[in-house]
Amino acid sequence: MRIPTILVAATLALAGLASPALAAGGNPLEKTNGFYVDPGSNPAAWVRDHPDDSLAGPIRTAIATKPGARWFGSWSGDVRAAVDEYTYAADVADKLPVLVAYNIPGRDCGGESTGGAGSPEAYRDWISAFADGIGGKPAVVIIEPDVLAQLDCLPGDARQTRLDLLNYAAAQFAAKAPTTWAYLDGGNATWIPAPTMASRLKSAGVQSIHGFVLNVSNFHTTADSTTYGKAVDAALGYAAPFVVDTSRNGSGHGTDSEWCNPPARKLGAPSQLGGGPEMQLWIKVPGDSDGSCGYGTGIPAGTFSPALADHLIKGD
């Protein structure tokens, strides 16, 4: 994992295109050997609890043993302790963990994943503790899925408050987690025009961290996401690194507009370097419901369903 990333960084620096964060920050890939498999993920826990189920074998092979992200929010309790424990376990294993911070006030605009910290002050405390939990350990952090794409649902004053909180979050990771690559969420390939998203990323402090992330919990192909990411970079004016969530994009988005547990979606390429973006990562946990809708009617957001996992394995 180490040599290709060094070469990418060197190429960007020689071209004068490297972001300040890429040029100055530590490289977590140099300190690890592959991505961390979360032993406590929902799919892994379900497989352990249902060893005799006919779906246990396929889910173990196709999902539970694959590297993916762990999401942190209000359910995580003492977030500093939870993050420290998780990143410590990955560090001992010499693997790179992927973490998702998902606690912004007004999260998901009242949708299926509504929630978040109760106030801006509470969020600052929470995200500061999150960064403290990582400290000097190597990590990748995804900052607040949908946070900028959903900016329009907020009233004017709340929009600026959100941007201020994201700048604060970026500053916390830059200051407290020197061997972490943090990525601000940049929506997906068809949601927000690239120049608009670039403007929002700048306003949220993307230049103080490593880059941005696309397609979290969505289904657009890696090729389409890469084209969009490059358009965002062009509007930013520098080659900010970006990663793509490939957990469920194996068949692309399809012709329907459904995003919530839709049919005919499939597991995508497992977590790896390159392939268009800087990294392809399983950020959404395959089999975790998007909410009580589509194939997941009656299953709350974030709850694992072996039936949903099976649909992703089969692509039906």
Q: Which residues are catalytic?
A: 108, 146, 290
Query: What's the rounded Cα separation, in Å, for the pair 48 and 226?
Result: 36
CB pairs under 8 A, 24+ apart, for 227-236? Answer: 227/189, 228/188, 228/189, 228/194, 229/186, 229/277, 231/194, 232/186, 232/194, 232/197, 232/198, 232/201, 233/198, 234/194, 235/194, 235/195, 235/197, 235/198, 235/199, 236/198, 236/201, 236/202, 236/206
Query: What's the rounded Cα separation, in Å, for the pair 279 and 283?
Result: 11
Q: Distances in Å between the alpha carbon of 296 and those of 73, 259, 312?
A: 22, 11, 12
Q: Which two tokens stand for residue 307?
A: 């039936």
| Among 85, 123, 78, 89, residue whose Cα is nearest residue 104 | 123
> How many residues does this entry show for the chain?
316
Query: What's the rounded Cα separation, in Å, for the pair 63 and 267?
Result: 9
Residue 274, exposed/middle/buried by CB under 10 A (0-12, 13-18, 19+)?
Answer: exposed
Query: What's the rounded Cα separation, in Å, for the pair 222 and 228?
Result: 10
| Among 39, 65, 35, residue whose Cα is nearest residue 267 | 65
Query: What's the rounded Cα separation, in Å, for the pair 150 and 167?
Result: 17
For the chain, first and last CA: distance in Å? 33
| Among 253, 291, 254, residue whose Cα is nearest residue 108 | 291
For 7-81, list the strands marked E by DSSP: 69-72
